[in-house]
Amino acid sequence: MVGLLIIIVVVFLILVISEILFKSKLVDKEVSRKLVHMGTGVVVAFSPYFMDWAYIQVLSLLFLSVILLSLKYKIFKGIHSVRRVTKGEILYAIGIGICAFLEPAPWIFTAAILHLAIADALAAVVGVKWGRRTRYVLLSHGKTMLGSLTFFYSSMLIMLGAYLMVEHQNLPASYLLFIVIPASLTLLENVSWYGLDNVTVPIMVIVLLSAFTGEQFIGV
């Protein structure tokens, strides 16, 4: 219970600080949203190591409730200011919630949520700020090569870090994991439009890592 309260306080502080930075025009709307994604995601990613799944599930529902209330009453304008057609912040909370209810191995949950917090967030910021010259269109939706490469390499690092912590003895026979899985996730991120990557990517991380390592879902 104490762990849950600490995370709630930390997430609230992240939301407030991001909103202050946005209103002070110290960061733009994209960076403001991604700061929230990165901050909250990193905190939640490691929560299975000090909190029961039931509390993480409650946290995800609280997170979704806050986002819905903020959307309705315009409380945190920084995370809702992007004009393009997307409900990514809602789907972000839903994605975390689904992963929590699946109850995978803690290290797999961490890897899945870090893809939202780090890989996806960095890809969006890099793509918007520096990737315009590398823009391409996939099935009528614009993406950037620089953003996709950022996602791919971030995914590689997340996979490497997660696997080194848990399956170090199998590393020599598992190099393909650091290419096949990041490549598959990058492709999925490319075709998951309107913020759906916030749901599809972490679930796919859980499915692929569980399949490769033989880990079982507890929640299904």
The whole-angstrom distance between residue 55's C-alpha and the CA centroid of its chain comes to: 19
Q: Is the pLDDT of residue 218 over 90?
A: no
CB 217 within 8 A of CB 210: yes
218 assigned to some structural domain? no
User: Which pLDDT score, from 0 to 100, does residue 85 have?
Assistant: 43
CB 110 within 8 A of CB 215: no
Spell out the long-range contacts of 208-212 with Cβ–Cβ below 8 A and sequence spacing 24 or more. Answer: 208/181, 208/184, 209/104, 209/108, 209/111, 209/112, 209/162, 209/181, 210/104, 210/105, 210/108, 212/174, 212/177, 212/181
Considering the entire predicted model, what is its pTM? 0.86
pLDDT digits (tens, 9 = 90+) for 135-172: 877 666 678 899 999 999 999 999 888 877 775 555 44
219 assigned to some structural domain? no
Say how many domains are in the chain: 1
More confident residue, 71 or 113: 113
User: And the tokens for 144?
Assistant: 């950037």
220 assigned to some structural domain? no
DSSP code of residue 136: E
Query: Residue 96 sits in which domain range?
Result: 2-213
User: Which pLDDT score, from 0 to 100, does residue 168 have?
Assistant: 54
